[in-house]
Structure 1
Amino acid sequence: MYSVTDIQLFVLTADLGSLSKAARQLDLVPATASASLKRMEVHLNTRLFVRSTRSLRLTPEGTLFLEYGRQALILLNQGEALLRSDGEIKGHLRLSMPADVGRNILLPWLNAFQKTYPKVTLALQFSDRIIDLFSAPIDVAFRYGKLDDSSLISQPLAASRRVAVASPAYITEHGAPATPKELVNHNCLLFYLERGLFNNWRFHSGKNAIDIKVRGDRMTDDAAIARGWAIAGLGIAYKSWLDVREDLAEGKLVTLLDNYVGEETPLNMVYPDRSSASPVVRALLIFLRERFFALGIPIDRNG
């Protein structure tokens, strides 16, 4: 079996393109370094490097294993850091989240999280726009829907779907649509998402998808405002059930088109790569999952 030093040497050799340079950085004699790589290759039953007198390069198998080696070292370093801090959860997190679920669900829980872990500091950004986690100063984002960027790490938090909602007062005055197509005869409350104005509403009836392009006299870049407009009786909104669940329970809003299924909007916790999953990020994930579970909201494992 190979050791942590063997993995360190393998990763450093790949990065430097030289076994001798990697050995010097780790204070190993050349013979020990050569034996280290040989030990790994024997254990893995594959060649990790193609060697010549002038060059050294990764084999396809070595390239595949390199990422796992990096992640193993990152996790070990994080574990060591946690133990050195006596298991204390601390640090600074910059979080981005959709405005509605952020203010109404996540914010009170984040306050409770900081009360549980008083050495954690948080910087919060509320936005319905998609943040580029590779360029923006954000550590973790909360996002609705299926993740398009496979290079990001997505941790599911809660299952949800979009629902068409309106206030009882709106329905009394304007009636309720019986089919998605009848939405064109109603004032629909619109908001902007990453691809622009969200005015194409999708429903499902069995295996059939129904796309309706809706119109309305109100548009906003804050989906929480669209929810407020709906509560005020100004039109129909198409919102994640998580955003409006309390309004539905209190009778401020009612669901429409109950014979049709809205598009899935699972809520996920997203970060750039596994190295971003520091102890405080892992603690936050566990903390939030426990709260969603307590509400009886299942985790969307396919999110």
Structure 2
Amino acid sequence: MIFVNILYLVVGFVFLIKGADFFIVSSSSIARKFRISPLIIGLTLVAFGTSLPELAVSLTASISARSQGLTADIAMGNIIGSNIANLTLILGTSALIMPVVVKKSMRKKEFPFLIGITILLATLGYLFQADAAIVWWEALILLLAFAFYMYLMITSEKDISEEDLPFVDTKKAMTLLIIGIIGVALGGFLVTEGAEYIAIETLTKSFDMSISKATTLVGLSIVALGTSLPELVTSAIAAKKGEADIALGNVIGSNVFNILLIVGLSGVVVPLGLNQDVLVDMIILIGITSLTVALGLLKNKLSKIDGLILLTLYASYITFIILRALGIF
């Protein structure tokens, strides 16, 4: 049975990644057919497409947890773990391949905004704990902040060329859109089912973990890494092509989408449970975000040494959450 659920995870991740890819190609093509500007497409459909895996897993895990009377530890663990992986593993890998230049607009707008919303999420988590969850009105605050972020991006001087966006004919685009949506939905279900089984049946029985700790560990590590694969591939390819600044924009944009849009949408549908481990990891995320911003501001770029520092942080974090789940910390 454990093999079957591991297979669920692997197949689910494939469906998530390919489904998101099909969604980006098809939705971009359809939008261009109706003469929607490349800027709007890039800031909305493409960015949303790379965050679809996190959305699918978080929504599925939340609904599943609610039906079982549990807190959605995988859902919040997935978001926090994905953001930590983005800033350490993905950005660190990109910096190792090619130094990442931090543009002036990034230092003035995106960096402060990212720190602000990370602190906002932790504030909602810590200061409104009567229900131990991100509930609908707290999620609505995040969605309003997301609308403000989109306003800032659309009114900025950024530009995206037509050549930067994928395109297929309309008939094929509609087919890919349907396949993409089905793939993401099915992938989210398979990943959640596989992760929950591994956490509950394996970790709780073999290592005597509580259900909450086991599901949080799986959400922060395996699920978070799997749903971050699109960002990892995109950033690594961009860095290899000598466009490392795109890698940074991809990471920052993904983290903003995860916190504001994914948590916001998931929390409006069903309350997102928060346990003590997730609350601690929120503080860790603030620290890692602040360090990444500081490294970029001090030298206006992230060097290979900075990349090694970030990768070491990721390895240390994974070690920490494993030891914590085992009760050593």
Under TM normalisation by the shorter chain, which class is it?
under 0.3
Hey, which of these two has a bigger chunk of strand by percent?
1
TM-score by length of 2: 0.21
Which structure has the bigger radius of gyration?
1
Hey, which of these two has a bigger chunk of helix by percent?
2
Of structures 1 and 2, the one with the larger relative CO (CA 8 A, separation 6+) is 2
